[in-house]
Amino acid sequence: MNEHHDGPDAAHRRPRGVSDTTVQALGALSKALETTERARGHLYAFHQLTGGADFELDRAVGLLREAGHHAWADRVQREILGRNVIPGHWTFQIVEAYNDTYYEPFKAAEKEARQELAEGKDHLLEAELKEERRTGGHPDHSARPGTTPQE
């Protein structure tokens, strides 16, 4: 195979001396981080949905008052509107604590592992899987963008 025209680009080629097990370990670490990225996205969705619900309470309180249900309007305003979602925390504080306590250290450790163990190269496992799974010479199986597959 001519590495200049087919196969992964230099950023996705395994450095010399990096074992299969190391590539698998870095792939598992990367997959765990990607899963954490998804969890973080859900946490932001929770943050935004909860905030949106809290603002919708303004409308509910107004409509309860308009309908003559002042006691219910007062109760919702007093007990629910602006309430902590867990003791002492609004959702933004949960997001900040998650980022500082878990996400940022995880992200840094994954990057440092890649730096130390694979010259900083990312997605080595996936690049090698792509090479194993693509069909040589097929126009929709090229190794990288802007290249023509070789036989």
Query: DSSP readout, 46-106?
Result: HHHHHHHHHHHHHHHHHHHHHTT-HHHHHHHHHHTTT--SBTTB-HHHHHHHHIIIIIHHH
Residue with tokens 């870095």: 26
The pTM of the full predicted model, rounded to 2 decimals, is 0.82
The predicted pLDDT at position 149 comes to: 61
Instruction: List, for residues 10-32, the tens digit of each pLDDT value.
Output: 889 999 999 999 999 999 999 99
> CA dihedral defined by 27, 14, 112, 145, rounded to 10 degrees?
-80
What are the structural domain ranges in the chain?
Answer: 18-129
Instruction: List, for residues 49-107, the tens digit of each pLDDT value.
Output: 999 999 999 999 999 999 999 999 999 999 999 999 999 999 999 999 999 999 999 99
CB 127 within 8 A of CB 13: yes
Phi, psi of 86 (to 5 degrees): -140, 160
